[in-house]
Structure 1
Amino acid sequence: MSWLTDVDDDDDDKYADYEARSRPNPKGNRARTKIRPEHNDAVTGRVFTVDRGRYSVLVGEGTPEEHEATASRASELRKQAIVTGDYVDLVGDTSGDEGSLSRIVRIQPRSTILRRSADDSDEVERIIVANADQMLIVVAAANPEPRPRLVDRYLVAAFDAGLEPILCITKTDLADPASFLANFAGLDITVVTSGFGAMPTDEIAALLAGHTTVAVGHSGVGKSTMVNALVPDANRAIGRVNTVTGRGRHTSSSTISYRVGDGWIIDTPGVRSFGLGHVNPDNILKSFTDLAVLAMDCPRGCTHLPDAPDCAIMEGVEEGRLGETGKLRLDSFQRLLASLA
């Protein structure tokens, strides 16, 4: 008898039982799938602030059932930014009761996105707010000194995002803002001014009515003071300007929305720089509407930089078609183009 056939029947039974035994599934018996639930029972809310992985969401906005809920992010959204102003879909416990936690499973399509980069060489964009339609640029007439180049950058970001800019000049009791405002004489921008103890809250509130407005500005310009005047229970921290460096301290560390009548104002932390690495240089001209009119006569492919031949903008400015502010406007425009080139 061959050794291949000389096997005990009992051994056959033993190995048959062993091979038939199924290996347990440590993750349970449910089959893995990439199909996500549709969450047809989700409710929609507006994100009004973000704090360390938790999202405060206003549910049922404008209805008698309006309330705040706290939410976390669903795992499938871990690579997507959720920011103040986003409209999101929630599931789970959306009651807003103490200790309750819902889950954000969808981000609704955004109408606008305001972005900035760390600097002009960084093409990685950081979303600041979503779904705003106005930008309130707050600048101090003095202490700290106004920076027209920074305001130019805000304007570029606003026009790139499709936001209507509004310029608010604070601390006009310390200095006359006329020379600073001359830098923007060629633009059709609404300007509001305020001095010590004379915050024009009614005028600003009227401009915010029916809009979602993001407030931006250099640290120490009085942005949080303005927000506190518009929303008395906001209690935003107010900083002081360093008397040695002339720089303001960062007091607001988070982006948060406040209701002002039937509108919203989104207060953002003060910044000392505003990178535009994500912006297409062709879009910069949109924020210089006075120069854009002249650019219609530029040759195809004109860079509008100082070495550009037959640039209609430079020719128009030299001819004085934009008045005394033309050279200042052109200089600011070309500086931004050069920084992104």
Structure 2
Amino acid sequence: MPEGKIIKALSGFYYVESSEGIVTCRGRGNFRNKKITPLVGDHAIYHIEKSGEGYLLEIKDRKNELVRPPIANVDQAILVFSAVEPDFSPVLLDRFLVLIEFNEIKPIIVITKIDLLSEEALKKINAYADYYRQIGYEVLLTSSKTEEGVELVQPMLAKKISVFAGQSGVGKSTLLNALKPNLDLKTGIISSHLGRGKHTTRHVELIEIGEGLVADTPGFSSLDFIDIEVEDLSYCFIEMRERSNACKFRGCTHLAEPKCAIKESIENGEISSDRYEHYKSFIQEIRDRKPRY
């Protein structure tokens, strides 16, 4: 049986790229029985009937999957955040990073619209960027309007499946248009009342850019920690993960336990107190989550 990669999912149809070209398929009923939903990025076995209709028969094992956006087998996540319009949100960035780290996907932070910043505001954004670089993340400052920093993004996409994700209106589609002008993706207008952009991307699709595949995904403004438990959370904060073994107690939550290496690192300035406050609020959110039945 032939197999290929699902590069687009829309209205119950799956577009599979294989050696035969792009084949349009539907899912078999047994996927519903097995509670399997085919996702963009899946490696699938398919069959083409005499009528010419294609059907998915099997989904290969995934190395990872995301729920929002719905995509599988991702190599890296390009987290796009604007410096302004809407304003840069460290707490929202940390929510994205938690989800990406939990799924063991490499994150790359891209901050857009730096051309709109005053000199003082740019210093503040650079300070944020420097901290995230210090703890181990790649951070790029870009402007799709002036094309500053855009040339640094494309080499990072080569030979990988990358998901572009971020808050609505931050410039994901604008950045992709700058990387590949003939895409002509629709871009949104920011509401002056809400500070949010309209959702301009309606489905997930893998797009070839250079030597890589990228997914432009529907924008969203919040993330729920559906599958993350309290004991998982510190693993998702890279600077805590590196120091947790130095805590006196195994399973330390870094809240009230004595001789906690994380709290010591905060006191001596090695860990950002703001990031720690985000961590504590996320812990409380997970604890307040309604139990699943």
**Above 0.5 in TM-score?**
yes
Q: Which residue of 2 aligns with 1:55?
A: 14
Determine which of 33, 55, 60 is the counterpart of 1:108: 60
Structure 2 unaligned regions, length at least 5: 288-293
Q: Which residue of 2 aligns with 1:150?
A: 92
What is the CA–CA distance in structure 1 between the aligned matches of 2:9 and 2:148, rounded to whole Å?
28
Kindly provide the amino acid, as one letter, of the partner of residue 46 in structure 2. Answer: L
In the TM superposition, what whole-angstrom CA distance separates every residue of 1:217-260 from its partner, at most 9, and x where no partner exists? 10000001111222333222100111121111111111111012
Overall identity of the aligned pairs, in %: 29
Asked which structure has the greater CA Rg, the reply is: 1
TM-score (norm 1): 0.76
Q: Which residue of 2 aligns with 1:192?
A: 140
Residue 23 (structure 2) pairs with residue 46 (structure 1): no
Determine which of 128, 131, 134 is the counterpart of 2:70: 128
Structure 1 unaligned regions, length at least 5: 1-41, 117-126
Q: Which residue of 2 aligns with 1:329?
A: 275
What is the CA–CA distance in structure 1 between the aligned matches of 2:164 and 2:116, rounded to whole Å?
22
Kindly provide the amino acid, as one letter, of the partner of residue 268 in structure 1. Answer: T
Runs of 4+ displaced beyond 4 Å? none
Determine which of 9, 23, 38 is the counterpart of 1:69: 23
Matches for 1:306-321 after TM superposition, within 5 Å: 307-320=256-269
Aligned length: 277
In the TM superposition, what whole-angstrom CA distance separates every residue of 1:77-136 from its partner, at most 9, and x where no partner exists? 123111111111110249xxxx942000100111221235xxxxxxxxxx7210111000
Residue 231 (structure 2) pairs with residue 282 (structure 1): yes
What is the CA–CA distance in structure 2 between the aligned matches of 1:293 and 1:102, rounded to whole Å?
48
Structure 1's 183 and 247: CA in aligned 2 closer, same or farther, altered over 3 A? farther
CA RMSD, 1 decimal: 2.0
* Range moving further from structure 2, 156-165 or 131-140: 156-165
What is the CA–CA distance in structure 1 between the aligned matches of 2:159 and 2:115, rounded to whole Å?
30
The 8 Å contact of residues 231 and 258 in structure 1, kept in 2 or not, is answered as no
Matches for 1:261-272 after TM superposition, within 5 Å: 261-272=210-221
Q: Which residue of 1 aligns with 2:291?
A: none
In the TM superposition, what whole-angstrom CA distance separates every residue of 1:173-219 from its partner, at most 9, and x where no partner exists? 11212244356354211111112221544321100011111110100
Q: Which residue of 1 aligns with 2:189?
A: 240
Match of 1:257, SS state, is strand
The 8 Å contact of residues 203 and 218 in structure 2, kept in 1 or not, is answered as yes
Larger helix fraction of residues: 2
TM-score (norm 2): 0.88
The 8 Å contact of residues 48 and 58 in structure 1, kept in 2 or not, is answered as yes
What is the CA–CA distance in structure 1 between the aligned matches of 2:15 and 2:198, rounded to whole Å?
26
